[in-house]
Amino acid sequence: MHRIIYSLITLSISLLPLSLFSAEEESTRGGIEEITVTAEKRTSTVSDTSMSISAFDASLIEDLGLQGANDLMDQ
């Protein structure tokens, strides 16, 4: 019984660097997030578009204190 526990502990400790390496790799990729855009692939005017459209100019973004895309999505 002690051999099984010892083997499991040894295996757990040996796999620990792999999870640390994976976490480090994710943090070094940078701060760019993946953004998925769903749209119609054709040219149209705003009035002919069946989807909702929201536009934020720089002054509104500054007034709202938005720092990134997540802040914008929360509005």
CB 34 within 8 A of CB 68: no
Q: What is the pLDDT of residue 16?
A: 59
With 0.75 as the threshold, say if the pTM is over it. Answer: no
Q: What is the pLDDT of residue 67?
A: 81
Compute, in degrees rounded to 10, the torsion defined by CA atoms 58, 59, 61, 62: 110
Q: What is the pLDDT of residue 70?
A: 78
Question: pLDDT (tens digit, 9 = 90+) per residue, 10-56?
Answer: 766 666 555 555 554 555 556 666 666 666 677 777 677 777 777 77
The span from the CA of 46 to the CA of 52, in Å, is: 9
Q: What is the pLDDT of residue 55?
A: 74
